[in-house]
Amino acid sequence: MSKGSGRPSRRRFVQGVAVATAAPAVFHVVPRHVLGVAQDQPPPSETFGAALIGVGGQGPQTFKAMSQGLAVRKLAECDVKFLDRADNKTVYSDFRRLLERKDIELIAIGTPPHWHALISIAAAQAGKDVLCEKPMTRFIAEGRAVVNAFKRYGRVFQVGTFGRFGASKDPNRVLTHKIMRSGLLKACPAVHVHSESWKVKEWSGRPDLPVRPVPKNLDWDLYCGPSPLKPFVRERVGGTHRRYWDYDGGGLSDMGQHFWDPVQWTFGKDDTSPVEVEAHAPPAHPEVTGMWGWVELKYADGLTFVFDSKEWGERYSRKTARGLSLEDLPEGEREKIKAMPDPEPLLTFAEAVKTRKQAGGNAEASHRCATLLHLANVAIRTGRKIKYDPVKEQVVGDEEANRLVNQPMRAPWHL
């Protein structure tokens, strides 16, 4: 198998056979219904074998989103809660056994975020395309590893947030995107973009909950996976996993990729990250997520994003604005923006799978968006302003903060 090619799909195999046998014989087209295939049913060569890993909560919706625009047949499901009924044919408790199957081409990932990176990378290595639930990863270094893996193996990756597709069709946002990407705006004005509904209280945790026996159907060791193996607390499993730093990052991580993916595209920041991050929040607990007020993330060009929770302390009160206009450019530069073509249409996951091109919310763009959330949480957890190098993807001069950027994994798991 050549590097980056993945295994040959059934479509390519069938096409290759047709080329090898078509000449010089003459063939007659046989209607599909004569072969017993319904008129509205895709032939087997156009149907993708697929699987869902992480079936609880949002998992079924993630699989549905992955299937849009594609003829998909679900061949298997996998969840660590299936320990008592796994048959390793259609039901699995260990994702590694599922990924060994050659008939599965598409993977939907609906697990908690501490598993997103490792499962995505393993799927790419196995020649699968992936639609992953948000947030993309649990910490920053994982995201870069995912980006590198999908480049190396030539697979399609997308995070299941689709707001950027709407943004790319909004004339005002397209104009802002063109201005930011043109390089003509030498000093970006202090643009602040607010978002709310962060579910901060809902996903704030309690460190004093009782330890309980591990359910018989749950593989607790595999659930914890690369995160520390802790005593079983019921709230660590299910939607409340968001309250624990071991698996997620609170309401900020839960909602952030939805909010900021379209904003990031609008302001042309799919290939970089902020250089300064400051949070207004109470001291953070080392185990569980908590309250915060606002976070300010500033890019090298002066563009500033603001996360404002409205749920703790004083509201963010500095001057705010939305979008850019041609008036922000010198008069001589405005005609250049008008003459610029609009950005290329973003490809959906289905279009990317069919064409083997990058999806609209590809790994690099999704990683940069998740980095916003992780940097905000790093500032909240350290309780101080941090400076970040978006090229090296490290906090400058702060080893404690960098241990949150690239967190250790429990053996034998590693990036």
- Yes or no: say if 245 and 288 are a contact pair by the CB < 8 Å rule: yes
pLDDT in the model for residue 44: 58
Q: Which two tokens stand for residue 127?
A: 């020649």
User: What integer is the mean pLDDT of 288-293?
Assistant: 96
pLDDT in the model for residue 35: 37
Residue 391: pLDDT above 80? yes
Find where tokens 């649990």 sit: 138
Give yes or no on whether 10-21+30-162 and 164-208+226-342+361-405 have one common fold. no
pLDDT tier at 316 (50, 70, 90 boundaries)? confident
pLDDT in the model for residue 194: 64
Find where tokens 């499993």 sit: 237
Domain ranges of the chain: 10-21+30-162, 164-208+226-342+361-405
What does the alpha-carbon distance between residue 243 and residue 409 come to, in Å, rounded to a whole number?
Answer: 19
pLDDT tier at 246 (50, 70, 90 boundaries)? very high
Q: Is the pTM of this model over 0.85?
A: yes
- Yes or no: say if 379 and 177 are a contact pair by the CB < 8 Å rule: no
Beta strands 47-53 and 106-109: pairing type?
parallel
The per-residue pLDDT for range 326-364, each reduced to its tens digit, is 988 888 899 999 999 999 999 999 999 999 999 999 999
User: What integer is the mean pLDDT of 281-290?
Assistant: 97
DSSP 8-state assignment for residue 252: H
pLDDT in the model for residue 313: 84
pLDDT in the model for residue 311: 87
pLDDT in the model for residue 57: 86
What does the angle CA 138 – CA 313 – CA 266 come to, to the nearest 5 degrees? 50
pLDDT in the model for residue 161: 87
Find where tokens 């090898």 sit: 20
The per-residue pLDDT for range 234-243, each reduced to its tens digit, is 999 999 999 9
pLDDT tier at 39 (50, 70, 90 boundaries)? very low
CATH classification code of 164-208+226-342+361-405:
3.30.360
The candidate with the shortest Cα–Cα distance to 334, out of 132, 107, 178, 211, is 178
pLDDT in the model for residue 66: 97
Q: What architecture (CATH level 2) is domain 10-21+30-162?
A: 3-Layer(aba) Sandwich (3.40)
pLDDT tier at 45 (50, 70, 90 boundaries)? low
pLDDT tier at 310 (50, 70, 90 boundaries)? confident
- Yes or no: say if 56 and 81 are a contact pair by the CB < 8 Å rule: yes
